[in-house]
């Protein structure tokens, strides 16, 4: 409300000025707010620092066929033992729930209309040094003489904890020995 002189009484003018100043300070403070995309990963890395793992594929003779380094946090490391089956590049869709045992699991799945049995078992210390033995076998419920030999795949992966991830590596980064990390 204005007085006879057309001026705003002091109490209202002061209140408006205070609100304007507060609004400007609030807007200026927006630039100083912590960046969510940097603070959350930083906090996570403090709580669960990413660890470097060497992952080797072991051949039938026990020799290392290939190796890669992976920077992993706890959820990614836990996924190491939950390998998923693929047949000719297509996911094998679960048809049963996994039967979980202390060191692994088994289930049945279907890919390209064909049934498969899948199994995985771990040997060793899951925190430092272990092997994952993975198997996929095609199932024939009523096999005929004209059916091809069933597809059977066996793979052993060796996981070895190497320590903290090198500077500049992010969770999920991978690199072959002697190479720079590939972003995933």
pTM over the 0.85 mark = no
Residues 160 and 95 in one domain: yes
Confirm whether 155 is domain-assigned: yes
Average pLDDT value over all residues in the chain? 81
Residues 60 and 20 in one domain: no
Residues 92 and 16 in one domain: no
Residues 92 and 130 in one domain: yes
Answer yes or no: are the C-beta atoms of 55 and 67 closer than 8 Å: yes
Residues 67 and 101 in one domain: yes
Residues 16 and 78 in one domain: no
What are the tens digits of pLDDT across the range 32-89? Answer: 555 666 666 666 667 889 999 999 999 989 999 999 999 999 999 999 998 888 888 8
Instruction: Output the CA–CA distances (angstroms, integers) from residue 11 to 8, 15, 22, 25, in the order listed.
Output: 8, 6, 16, 21
């Amino acid at each position: 409300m204005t007085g006879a002189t057309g001026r705003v009484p002091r109490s209202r003018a002061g209140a408006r000025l205070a609100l304007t100043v507060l609004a400007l300070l609030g807007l200026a403070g927006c630039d100083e707010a912590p960046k969510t995309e940097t603070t959350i990963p930083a906090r996570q890395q403090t709580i669960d620092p990413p660890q470097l793992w060497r992952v080797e594929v072991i051949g039938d003779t026990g020799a290392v066929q290939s190796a890669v380094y992976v920077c992993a946090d706890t959820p990614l490391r836990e996924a190491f033992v939950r390998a998923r089956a693929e047949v000719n590049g297509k996911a094998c869709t679960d048809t049963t729930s996994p039967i979980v045992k202390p060191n692994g699991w088994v289930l049945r799945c279907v890919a390209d209309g064909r049934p498969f049995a899948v199994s995985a078992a771990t040997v060793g210390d899951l925190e430092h040094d272990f092997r994952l033995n993975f198997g996929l076998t095609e199932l024939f419920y009523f096999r005929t003489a004209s059916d091809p030999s069933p597809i059977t795949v066996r793979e052993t992966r060796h996981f070895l904890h190497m320590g903290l991830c090198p500077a500049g590596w992010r969770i999920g980064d991978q690199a072959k020995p002697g190479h720079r990390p590939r972003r995933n």
